Structure 1
Amino acid sequence: MSLHVVRPGPLATLQDRGRPGLAHLGVPRAGPLDAPAADLANRLVGNDPGAALVEATFGGLELRTDAGAWVAVTGAPVPVAVDGSPRGHACAQWLPAGATLRLGVPTAGVRCYVAVAGGVDVAPVLGSRSTDTLAWVGPPRLVAGTTLPVGLAAGRPAPHDTPRPPEPGPLRVHAGPRADWFAAGALAALCRAPYVVGEASDRVGMRLVGPVPQRVRAEELPSEGMVLGAVQVPPSGQPVVLLADHPPTGGYPVLAVVEEADLWQCAQLRPGDEVRFRRA
């Protein structure tokens, strides 16, 4: 069977567990920004955790199927409809042959995940079906008319006793490798003050607006390896939290590193939302 993209919305990509371990080749890891939501969608339709699914930014996605299939929509709370009839969120739904699944605009958050039993079965690139929006490694972004082949269902839908994503809270941080480039107490100050998500945030990084961490070293820093969740401070002084499509290297000092288990929250923070940090 196949899914056919009628409308992609503002941005729709395919994601699986990504490409960790290839940073030494200059390849970003990619993968879903909200990993718990993606895992939940796959569990609900009986897929393995690594099955490829659709990540839709700000909704607007429409998919039509040419055969009946189980689907699930998770992540940002969003109106879900099948052929115009309202359906549930974060539960397994039967999508009849020829039916159209439509996502509205999320009432909160940013990114939704659509899993189909069997997973999206496009050809992997460097071992993954994830789309990397920095270098555009992997499948291209979805556009109207894209056809997505679906694999064989691996198991039955599991709507009951399915672990749910954690509750949101402050982003826990550890001291970064260049914390000594900042004034004493800079990390504590980062954790005291609220920041606001900037308009330019994307899958590469969450850009913040707020107090500027005070530097004590002003020289240039040669490019060095960057890890997922690094909070680097560019010359503007406004911190950036590096997310799934971040470059493998960067030339700005890293004050802190966000606990990986908390990074899913960055997927659902909208421009203008408040962000707080606390020491891990």
Structure 2
Amino acid sequence: MIEVLRAGALTTVQDQGRPGYAHLGVPRSGALDPAALRLANRLVGNPETAAGLEITLTGCVLRFTRAATVALTGAEVDVRVDRRPGDVGRPLSLPAGAVLRIGPAHAGLRTWLAASGGIAVEPVLGSRATDTLSGLGPPPVRDGDRLPLGASAGPPAPADFTVAPAVPATLRLTLRPGPRQDWFTPAALDLLLTTPYAISPASNRVGARLVGAALPRAVAGELPSEGLVLGAVQVPPDGQPLIFLADHPTTGGYPVIGVVDEVTPLAQARPGTTVTFHGPQR
């Protein structure tokens, strides 16, 4: 069992999500950096599909009522096991009753925690992931929560350390135009591909909101609701683009000017981070 002494700004249970239900209005959800959570699980001997914690910016404090192996990946943070310092990117052995203190992120935004046995909350539609938009899965972790752990599946990985990628100051994202590019003036796509944008503080697990040049529309009004995919760049009436992330809605009525090939880098993008776009041919 994990006792949550301090949950931090936003800590959620996440796994690899619940794919295959978009036709029912259920997005995939899951870790914003699936590879980081898979790595943490491998380090502690879990299956890659095991649930862990996604910890946003401010860290958290957890007490383990049983002995466990844990691993942290993602943003670089200070780690302490009781009074002993620990490291990100390697297995850490915790005795029963140990308190794990995870500090604020030095760079980046999110850290993923895996514990031997995985977080064993009740699955919903085959996943234990918290979907912050629909409310499926467990609610965000709160102070005083007790999170069950499953049975350990195997020994921790024989790894001295792993190397986390550096967090870039500017994200350069590949954009595939469409499907509603025709709802915008010819200048709109040029603006999107030549103008830097900044991550807005209003961003969350649903989407990365951008601040920059407004994209002018050629067609007023809204579309009948149509399907949305991960990475869709939707443009609401204010002209400021929004990149949909793991907890995105599955339908929407604002036009989508393009789709980002790979959204994982946005998992570590703090407010103010510069974002630029380029076409798939560049």
TM-score clears 0.5: yes
- Equivalent-residue separation in structure 1 for 2:40 and 2:28 (angstroms): 21
203-212 or 57-66: bigger deviation: 57-66
Partner of 1:105, secondary structure, is: strand
Which residue is equivalent to 2:28? 29
Which residue is equivalent to 2:249? 247
Distance 1:50 1:105, change over 3 A: same
User: Residues 217-269 of structure 1, C-alpha deviation per residue, up to 9 Å, x if partnerless?
Assistant: 1232111111011000000100000111111111111011111xx31111111
Which residue is equivalent to 1:269? 269
Partner of 2:36, secondary structure, is: helix
Which residue is equivalent to 2:258? 256
Partner of 1:79, secondary structure, is: strand
Aligned ranges 1:87-236 → 2 under 5 Å? 87-160=86-159, 169-184=171-186, 186-236=188-238
Question: What is the letter of the counterpart of residue 266 of structure 1?
Answer: L
- Equivalent-residue separation in structure 1 for 2:182 and 2:158 (angstroms): 49
The answer to whether the 8 Å contact 1:207/1:239 transfers is: yes
Distance 1:270 1:211, change over 3 A: same
Please report how far the alpha carbon of residue 116 of structure 1 lies from its aligned counterpart in structure 2 after TM superposition.
Answer: 0.5
Structure 2 segments unaligned to the other structure (5+ residues): none
Question: What is the letter of the counterpart of residue 265 of structure 2?
Answer: Q
Partner of 1:20, secondary structure, is: coil
Please report how far the alpha carbon of residue 165 of structure 1 lies from its aligned counterpart in structure 2 after TM superposition.
Answer: 6.2
Please report how far the alpha carbon of residue 162 of structure 1 lies from its aligned counterpart in structure 2 after TM superposition.
Answer: 8.5
- Equivalent-residue separation in structure 2 for 1:162 and 1:257 (angstroms): 35
- Equivalent-residue separation in structure 2 for 1:20 and 1:163 (angstroms): 28
Between the two proteins, the alignment pairs up a number of residues equal to 277
Q: Alignment identity in percent?
A: 54
Partner of 1:187, secondary structure, is: helix
163-172 or 263-272: bigger deviation: 163-172
Q: CA RMSD in A?
A: 1.8
Distance 1:44 1:180, change over 3 A: same
Distance 1:162 1:104, change over 3 A: closer
- Equivalent-residue separation in structure 2 for 1:159 and 1:230 (angstroms): 39
- Equivalent-residue separation in structure 2 for 1:211 and 1:53 (angstroms): 38
Please report how far the alpha carbon of residue 163 of structure 1 lies from its aligned counterpart in structure 2 after TM superposition.
Answer: 7.7
- Equivalent-residue separation in structure 1 for 2:178 and 2:7 (angstroms): 38
Aligned ranges 1:1-40 → 2 under 5 Å? 2-40=1-39
The answer to whether the 8 Å contact 1:40/1:163 transfers is: no
Please report how far the alpha carbon of residue 57 of structure 1 lies from its aligned counterpart in structure 2 after TM superposition.
Answer: 0.9
- Equivalent-residue separation in structure 1 for 2:110 and 2:160 (angstroms): 24
Please report how far the alpha carbon of residue 147 of structure 1 lies from its aligned counterpart in structure 2 after TM superposition.
Answer: 1.3
TM-score by length of 2: 0.93
Distance 1:108 1:40, change over 3 A: same
Question: What is the letter of the counterpart of residue 56 of structure 1?
Answer: I
The answer to whether the 8 Å contact 1:42/1:49 transfers is: yes
Structure 1 segments unaligned to the other structure (5+ residues): none
Which residue is equivalent to 2:239? 237
Please report how far the alpha carbon of residue 36 of structure 1 lies from its aligned counterpart in structure 2 after TM superposition.
Answer: 2.0
17-26 or 7-16: bigger deviation: 17-26
179-188 or 45-54: bigger deviation: 179-188
